[in-house]
A and B are shown apart, each in its own frame.
Chain A
Amino acid sequence: MDSLLNPDRPPVFCPGCSHDRSVQVLDRALQKMGLAGSEVVIVSDIGCSGLFDTFFNTHAFHGLHGRALTYAAGIKLAQPGLKVIVTMGDGGLGIGGAHLLAACRRNLDLTLLVLNNFNFGMTGGQFSCTTPENASVSSSFLNTLEKPFDLCHVAAGAGAPFVARSSVYRKNLPELLQEAISFEGFAVVDIWGGCPARYMKKNPLSPKEIESAIEKLPSYEGVVSANVRREYSSHYRQEAGKEKAKVPWKGTEPIFEAAVRERREVVFLGSAGQRVITAGSLLARAALLSGMNVSQKNDYNITVMRGPSVTELILSPRAITYTGVEHPRIIIALADEGVQRCCTLFEKMRKGGRIIQAAGVEIPATAGQILEIDFKAGGIKKKEMALAACSLLARDGDPITAEMLEEALKQTFQGKRLEEARLVLEKAATIPV
């Protein structure tokens, strides 16, 4: 096959730059594989290695520093047949560290070539995440305080199934790159070379010195058998193929007459774990079955199993514009946390309002009529109180009826959960009021 180098845009690296050699080596590997330019995308980031995409007649995506692996993943998932080659330097490697770890764990079929020259060449020779501690670079003494990291060690540790380290000067590097590009999975090649304009000014680094430094490190030559596993893209497609659409396009036709033809604002004041939001949804669904407009707005803290949990419902024969509760008609006070969060609601309740107050919960003064319920004595657990309260509302037929609640339960729960919920309703039916 022909060279994929762009004759109109020859490399513009400094004389003696190892990147020049990397460009030639990559071209040779692509030629050996017989790939056309349209079968390859080179994804690059910032710095001298970020010029790579301009030298090749392939698809090209040149993006932000350290983020090349993210663009590459999006491209690969959208175009699974494309050979996706990412080039970055040790700068991009450091700033995009999280993406390297994610790419290793994910095992999408990408090839990452790290053109490792131990410093930031373009910005003035500052130290990078691979600069040796004893090197002399433009970041004064800072690099002597930090340990460089071994890319191959990190990549293998994070799950990359193909990891190799090589000097840019090795004769068999084109074959190694060919192997990496052909590998079906995430392949990382750590290519060591010298930066004559910056790093090598004070840190001599001959091909021989690079080779001997590599020899002192653990050897990585390609497949890491412990990490070999299914490629992400094909695996994703297989798993996604089993998914069933759950989008609820179809609405609910009303099957009941509305229990009340007036606006009702209902608030459950509970604590996390009391399933007040679930109970609110059931009440909403029950009202929906009679063609009412409903809104449900929830309020809770970021803690999951602790703190207040509040759900505010509006049921209305008319469209609901404002979703906040202004004058609650019904308050279900199940826990002090919830009551404290919304204590001003009680004074906003007008005459005719009703409060279901769980025994032991303190509430502020109110114009509403209070019904104190000892749920515990009725055999109702903490997490069942909100549903039991719905049953008490249904007993009065305001704002829903028992039939609506039963139907809402059937539409929401199945199997054991449905049986449990029905049991709660049965227990609630025996509570004296």
Chain B
Amino acid sequence: MALLFIDGNQAVAMGALYGGCRFFASYPITPASTLLSAMLETLPAAGGIVLQGEDEIASIGYCLGASMAGMKVMTATSGPGLSLYSENISFAIAGEIPIVIVIIMRQGPSTGSATRGADSDVQFMRWGCSGGLPVIVLAPTDVSDCFTLTAHAFNLAEHFRCPVFVASNKEIGMTSQTVDMDRVERPPIINRSFHESGPFQPFRVNPGMDVPSFLPIGGPILVRQTSSTHGPDGYITTDPSEIQAGVERLQRKIEANVESFSYFDLEERKGAQTLIVTYGITAGAARAAANELFEKQNVPVSLLVLKTLWPVPEQVLQSAAEGKERVFVVEMNLGQYIQEVRRVLCNQRVDFFGKMSGQLISPREITEKVLGG
């Protein structure tokens, strides 16, 4: 068994390379700046392009241009930079531009603490841009997930032609861990579906499909991309029925398919009356807490670690929580994702524990809260 000792940001870079990424642009920001370094060590040698943008708006803009010209693209930032990405994320949704956006979350609000972790932006990723349309957010728990979920993120961005977030955290991105790469899941690579024959319209979908087939800007057939409300031909439309059909399709293509990309770990223990629900870096502490409760205190507790946060994998939540007396949401913030859990499990008792002090939530804190009722 040959172990690799890498941090989460290096694993994201490796997952991106594996996933087919050949264009990366970002603006340095702690704790995402080491991902820029890792991409500089990865892509140029593989024939890819890395740009250091003049700011975050430019960085994501470079990616959108390159994606429409046919490349698989990725950008990375932290909370403050996510604010600046907002308008272009909305564009990527509207223009159906595949892009992977890695957010290495840190302590907010505002500038907050650059070198302290927190899951600050879990709702912000979903709701932080105009239009309210859905995005996909995947949340790694460790180095191994950073690789696999980044590869999944590329697949999903390509398949659904949409922005896909990898929601990491300083405590994952900048913490090194041993990992056995032979045991890390490598999902088969999916590429965007290219238009093959017949007249081409950039946003036309085939019957029964919700994702338009792609052609790159720069090829022999003319391609239009636009941030304005458009019809299938890529020109502005003012037809209310066409507009409504367009936005409903953008919503449907993501939300109707969540079951095909609901990633999670469920550790069920017989007789468990409590279900812990968590994600991200806190999964490690929750796993240790659930083990300890069972092994040392004889209290069986089930654990659901969500790795797809958005769209909310409602069926996964409902099925894991079925029959439980208590659902206990633990997250490294003041209570963000619990809003979704409470919405989905509206007839069940859902308790919360979280903090945003720059320190990890420890297994002991979780066991105390679980036992404290």
Contact = CB atoms under 8 A, between A and B. Distances in A.
B284 A245 contact: no
A243 B43 CA distance: 9
5 shortest A-B CB distances, which residue pairs? A74-B65, A70-B61, A251-B2, A79-B218, A78-B69
A416 interface: no
16 contacts: A38-B220, A54-B236, A61-B68, A64-B227, A74-B65, A243-B45, A248-B4, A248-B6, A251-B180, A252-B5, A288-B5, A293-B177, A296-B175, A297-B175, A322-B287, A322-B360
A79 B217 contact: yes
Given A79-B216, A326-B362, A295 B61 contact: no
A77 B66 contact: yes
A322 B285 contact: yes
Interface residues of A, number: 69
A285 interface: yes
Contacts of A99: 54, 57-58, 61
A250 B181 CA distance: 8
Contacts of A59: 217-218, 222-224
Interface string A286-306: 001001111111111110000
Contacts of A288: 3, 5, 178
A56 to B, nearest CB: 9
Interface string B151-170: 00000000000000000000
Contact of B115 (A38, A246, A293, A300): A300
Interface of A: 9, 37-38, 41, 43, 53-54, 57-64, 67, 70-79, 81-82, 98-99, 101-102, 236, 239-240, 243-254, 281, 284-285, 288, 291-302, 320-324, 326
B94 to A, nearest CB: 10
Given A74-B67, A78-B71, A243-B44, A323 B171 contact: yes
A240 B58 contact: no
A63 B42 contact: no
B79 interface: no
B91 A64 contact: yes
A247 B42 contact: yes
B73 to A, nearest CB: 8
Contacts of B235: 9, 54
A73 B59 CA distance: 10
B42 A246 contact: yes
Interface string B27-56: 000100000000001101111110101110
A326 B367 CA distance: 14
A98 B54 contact: yes
B1 interface: yes
Contact of B3 (A73, A291, A298, A322): A291
Given A243-B45, A245-B46, A295-B178, A74 B1 contact: no
A293 B178 contact: yes
B88 A64 contact: yes
Most A CB atoms within 10 A — which of B14, B51, B359?
A: B51
Contacts of B291: 321
A98 B54 CA distance: 7
Contact of A38 (B2, B174, B219): B219
B70 A62 contact: no
Given A293-B3, A326-B362, A247 B14 contact: yes
A75 B65 contact: yes
B226 interface: yes
B288 A322 contact: yes
A251 B143 CA distance: 14
Contact of B65 (A70, A98, A249): A70
Contacts of B362: 322, 324, 326
Interface string B318-349: 00000000000000000000000000000000
Contacts of B69: 74-75, 78-79, 82
A72 B64 CA distance: 9
Contacts of A71: 61-62, 64-65, 68
Contact of B5 (A247, A249, A294, A302): A294
Contacts of A294: 5, 176-178
A67 B177 CA distance: 39
B217 A302 contact: no
Contacts of A246: 41-42, 45
B369 interface: no
Nearest to A59: B217
B36 to A, nearest CB: 14
A78 B70 CA distance: 7
A313 to B, nearest CB: 9
Contact of A74 (B10, B25, B281): B25
B228 interface: yes
Given A38-B221, A78-B71, 16 more contacts: A62-B228, A63-B226, A63-B227, A64-B61, A98-B54, A240-B49, A248-B4, A250-B4, A254-B1, A281-B176, A292-B178, A321-B287, A322-B360, A323-B175, A323-B177, A326-B363
A326 B284 CA distance: 13
Contacts of A252: 2-5
Contact of A291 (B1, B51, B58, B176): B1
B224 A60 contact: yes
Given A74-B61, A296-B175, A63 B115 contact: no
A254 B73 CA distance: 36
B58 A82 contact: no
B23 interface: yes
B17 A247 contact: yes
A70 B55 CA distance: 10
Interface string B351-367: 00000000110111000
B83 interface: no
Contacts of B287: 321-322
A292 B177 CA distance: 11
